[in-house]
Amino acid sequence: MKLGTLYLVPNTLGEENRDSQIAVVIPPFVVQIASQLDCWIVENAKTARSFLNAIHQVSPLRTPMQDIVMKQWRGPGSDVKPIDLIQPLLQGQDMGLMSEAGLPGIADPGTEIVAAAHAFNINVRPLTGPNSLMLALMSSGMSGQHFSFHGYLPIKPPERMKKLKALENESKANQSAQLWIETPYRNSSMLTGVITSLHPKTQVCVAMDLTLPSELILRHRVEEWKNILQDPQGPLPKNFDKRPAVYILQA
C-alpha cells in the first residue's frame, strides 16, 4: 500500500489578525497545500482551527471544517502514542503536522511525530514559514555560525543564575550565541537574573512578537539593560511581562 505524506505546516507567530498574517508570513504554495489536507496532528485544536479558518479566507478548504480530523499531540506525556496518530499515513492518507506557533519540530513536541514517520519510511515534507528563534538570531547581530538553543531556563533564581553563567562561559569559550525562550509573566524576573548573573559587557538581545505589528527587538550590554529595566519611560512596553520572548546572549 502506498504511504501518505506528512506535511510539516508552519503556523503564524501570533493569534491576533491571522487573516492578515497569512499573506505576509505563509507562502501561497503552503496555503494551497494546507487547504487540501483533511487530517491533522496538532498541538492545540483551537489554535489549529483558527489557522485553518484564516487559510480558508485565502484558499477555500477542500473539506468543511467540521469534517476535518484533528488529533492532538502535546509530547511524550500524552496518553496517545505517535504510532497511533500516524495510522492514516500508513493507510495512504496525507496528513498535516501543525505546531502551536511557528515551525513544527522546532522547540515543539512534533519531533516525536516526525521521528515516528521516518521509522516507517513515510515521506516527510517540511514547508516554509516563520520561526521566532531564527528570526531573533538574524536580527540580533550575534553569531549565526555558532549558536545553541536551550529551551526554557530554570525558574528558581539560584538555578537560573547558575545556568546563565554557564551559557555565558560557553559563549565566551566558543564565540557562540546562546538562545533560550521565556513565557509571559516571567520576563522581568528573567532580565533581573540576567543583570545580576552576567558580566556587564555581555550583549543580550530580547525579541518579541516577531512578524507582528508589535514586534520588538532590543540588543544591549547587561549594564545598559539594568538602566532600561528601571526606566518607566524606557523602550520596554508596559505589557512586557505579558509577551513570550526569545533571549540571546553573546559574551
**What's 65's domain CATH number?**
3.40.1010.10
Provide the pLDDT for residue 78. Answer: 81
Same domain as 88, residue 16: yes
CA separation, residue 156 to residues 152, 189, 240 (Å): 12, 10, 20
Same domain as 168, residue 111: no
Mean pLDDT of the chain: 94
Q: 194: domain range?
A: 132-250
Same domain as 151, residue 122: no
Same domain as 136, residue 122: no
Q: For residue range 108-136, what is the model confidence (pLDDT) as tens digits?
A: 899 999 999 999 999 999 999 999 999 99
CATH number at residue 176: 3.30.950.10
Total of domains in the chain: 2
Same domain as 86, residue 150: no
Domain end position, chosen among 126, 157, 181: 126
Q: How many CA atoms lie within 13 A of 211 on its CB side?
A: 24
Domain end position, chosen among 100, 126, 152: 126
Same domain as 161, residue 63: no
Same domain as 113, residue 163: no
pTM above 0.95, yes or no: no
Q: Is 60 exposed, middle or buried (0-12, 13-18, 19+ CB in 10 A)?
A: exposed
Same domain as 136, residue 103: no
Residue 93's CB: how many other CB atoms inside 10 A?
A: 15
Domain end position, chosen among 126, 151, 185: 126
Same domain as 158, residue 213: yes
Provide the pLDDT for residue 164. Answer: 98
Q: For residue range 98-109, what is the model confidence (pLDDT) as tens digits?
A: 998 899 999 889
Same domain as 77, residue 30: yes
Same domain as 202, residue 121: no
Label residue 233 by pLDDT band (50, 70, 90): confident
Same domain as 200, residue 172: yes
